[in-house]
Structure 1
């Protein structure tokens, strides 16, 4: 079966993204599904719901792409992936392959959205965002956003650390990418996520880039060493038009 036989339509619902799948998922078409999910993750949704009501599967092995994508989504700050509306043949196959144990399966898309974003949901929490231009006052604006979020969510004890982390991430954009940026802060369970998306090339490296490497991200890496020391985890994920650098702190 050709990859063209897998169809995906994307719908934004607030901070969530619904991907309605149709056609056949098999070994040949699974890269198309992966590309669609990664494209959605670039917008940092709180949750991606895969509506599989119109999806058929060519073989059980192809379904293993779903847990892999869910794990990839979990690596993004504050994001998650769920399944919805599986018909009995597909639901049985998901159970046989233990996919339903690894990726939440809901009877409908609305139920998936409610389950992922409602009170006590493990998939997503509260979030705030701000788009900034590459100007000197961007760091102050980013600190204000993160500080306001910490006060609103009652996590003021980590406010100073979170403000310092976002200052370092925004400063990297100002020094190297020099593009517009989107600063995000999200709370999920006992974690606070901070992310900065820019439109510049290259990937920042802890401790600085190789001497032989060219590009706008050649630096001593001290800012990222600070981020690494202060956070529970941090990372950089390339996206089609740039990258997202994120950091997570325990609340």
Structure 2
């Protein structure tokens, strides 16, 4: 929260509980129908408007504090981005909240960014036995990430020759603001995959790969495939 100290973000910091939760007849609390619909569209479909609704419900403060408390963001390191390592989400994908930006190594200051290492850590928690949040919450997120694969919102499996299958995935497609125009359209993805012959699972992450067409992704897919094979069959 140090990064947001002194910033007038009235209305953008705290969760909007009434938009997120619904109290059921048995006094249990669940996500509201609207929030769950937008959460699904955000994760499974990569819908920016739906993501904005989710961010508005949760709030910048909760997102920032949650990432820092869970060890995914070092708020003391943002002044030296080349040594900083973490996740930062203080933007709502252009849906009305004022973005709060921090320095970024490979782009202009960003309101929505992560390092490869921390994204890999997050997916490793989801894929492994150590819970990220708790069992039911982790399973609910894995279900959304599975839906993304089922709906073909993925990149690495566009090379059909690879020997792994995607189980869960979250992809990103957008632009950076540095480099030539042909370098600015970029693809990113974090995925849990399974090597087909052994059933072994791996976490794969790539970030900001210049994207012209599906063929742009094939070299990344083949590097992943070769790395998995070298690990399993040295």
TM-score, length basis structure 1: 0.25
TM-score, length basis structure 2: 0.26
Please tell me whether Structure 1 or Structure 2 has the larger radius of gyration of its CA atoms.
1
Q: Which has the higher strand share?
A: 1
